[in-house]
Amino acid sequence: MSKSNDKTLTHLLDAIDEAADGTVVCMREILAAIGDRSIMPLVLAVSILIVSPLSGIPTVPTLSSVILLVLMAQAFGRRRHLWLPEILLRRELAAHRVLTATGWLRRPCAWLDAHSRPRLRVLTSGMLRPLTLVVCMLTAATFPFLEILPFVSSFCAGAIAMIAFGVITRDGLWVLAGYVQVAVLASIAVWARPG
């Protein structure tokens, strides 16, 4: 997938749909469809799927959290090809659930594709790139704790998706939007904390 591709999200959804052509789909098949040469497209794919109603399926937010943390740790190490442990590669979801999720995401993803372009590029690379990974990792680490609240992890996944999308398209405005969403969610969590 080209970083300059103006159909980034639409093409990701196409790749996921292609992988989900049977009764079940596993992470190995999604990885094969997306490719293993770049980590951020897979981070984006996992996070946009959790934005969808898939986040309401028990254990899916926790599984996605583990996958995202493993992927972003490798991004820190600048691995050229990503790696996931066999236990994660074998995890399966019903293909019809995945296709429902990608169908649900089509319209908002098409809108995002149409409204992205290279801008505020300083936020997407260089010295600030590690910041994007740290913010995404800290946000992904909250998924298991949010699993008891149905669909709440979708909001956190949305922030990760915006940041990953901004990095891939070199559009710092979406990275900034992701940071703002993380800050708002963190403020709500602090405000709502008992005592």
What is the mean predicted confidence (pLDDT) over 137-160? 87
Whether residue 6 is predicted with pLDDT greater than 70 in this model: the reply is no
Whether residue 81 is predicted with pLDDT greater than 80 in this model: the reply is no
Q: What angle do CA 65, 115, 141 make, to 5 degrees?
A: 10
Whether residue 65 is predicted with pLDDT greater than 90 in this model: the reply is yes
Whether residue 147 is predicted with pLDDT greater than 70 in this model: the reply is yes
Residue % of the chain over a pLDDT of 90:
42
- Of residues 140 and 31, more confidently modeled: 140
Residue % of the chain over a pLDDT of 70:
92
pLDDT band at 1 (very low <50, low <70, confident <90, very high): very low
Check residue 195 and give its pLDDT: 53
Q: What is the DSSP string of 139-190?
A: HHTTHHHHTTSTTTHHHHHHHHHHHHHHHHHTBHHHHHHHHHHHHHHHHHHH
Task: Find which of 13-22, 36-45, 170-179 is predicted with most confidence, using mean pLDDT.
Answer: 170-179
Assigned token pair, 8:
């980034």
- Of residues 150 and 17, more confidently modeled: 17
Whether residue 4 is predicted with pLDDT greater than 50 in this model: the reply is no
Closest residue by Cα to residue 167 from 119, 125, 111: 125
Mean pLDDT of the chain: 86
pTM of the model: 0.86
What is the mean predicted confidence (pLDDT) over 158-162? 94
- Of residues 175 and 193, more confidently modeled: 175
pLDDT band at 162 (very low <50, low <70, confident <90, very high): very high
Taking the C-alpha atoms of residue 30 and residue 121, their distance in angstroms, rounded to an integer, is 29
